[in-house]
Amino acid sequence: MAIHNEAKKGEIAKVVLMPGDPLRAKYIAENFLENYRLVNQTRNMFGFTGTYRGKEISVMASGMGMPSMGIYCYELYQFYDVDAIIRIGSCGSYVADINLLDIVLTEESYTMGNFAENMSGEKCHTVKASEILNRRIEETAKQQKIKYQKTNVVCTECFDAYMLHPEEFVKGLPIGKNITCSEMESFALFYTAKKLGKKASCLLTVVDSNCKKEILTNQQREKSLNDMIKLALESTLKI
């Protein structure tokens, strides 16, 4: 029984898109889905189910940070028989050749945190996205002519814009991991999927650059993610 989700069994689709922000979930349902209905509003973590080009899709918020993502993706996988979750969120760039509004497809997520040890007792700090899901997303991006970069990210426990010594943090990342961006949820999603035998992927849009000291406003963030959303939705048709 799900503690944090009031949806009835069968009200959530096998494939779920998962933004962090509940209002972004609402925006996606209202602007991209047909015949959508609200299936969860517990703690205002909105979840909707509708159809996209005839395929049933759910979109539900995860909240911010690994603990919140860990709760919601676990319940979707374990109690609602969800097969695949694509996180669609925002990230910060650490390198000069990844710019504001670029789309990033996550290959591997690294964390300094102890989510894996808390969940299963395993000392694991790196986990990969589903190769099958990523392959479908890459195929779709090519067909839709949507540009993206495939890379590795660090999943942090502190919002990088609020770090007191971000340069020192970046210097402390593992050498050779090709970590170019930061966000806060992918490791929990990927690790939970791995442990439960499910699939997970993560698409991100760059909204700030630590390297160039640039950041989008809240209003710009809200309106600038449509290409990523379209890529995720079109990819679900292949899953």
pLDDT of residue 224: 66
Residue 160 DSSP code: G
pLDDT of residue 194: 98
* 111-128 per-residue burial string, b: 16 or more CB within 10 A, e: under 16: bebebbeebeeeebbbbe
**Domain segments of the chain: what residues?**
15-236
Average pLDDT per run of 10 along the chain, which is 239 residues long?
A: 93 98 96 98 97 98 98 98 97 91 96 98 98 98 96 95 89 93 98 98 90 70 81 97
Residues annotated as catalytic (active site), given as ranges: 208
Output the six-digit token pair for 37: 């209905």
Q: CATH assignment of 15-236, given 3.40.50.2300, 3.40.50.1580, 3.30.1280.10, 3.20.20.70? A: 3.40.50.1580
C-alpha 127/C-alpha 125 separation (Å) is: 7
Give the CA distances from residue 100 to residues 91, 97, 135, 220, 230, in Å, rounded to whole numbers and listed in that order. Answer: 9, 10, 24, 11, 18
**What's the half-sphere exposure (Cβ side, CA atoms, 13 Å) at 152?**
16
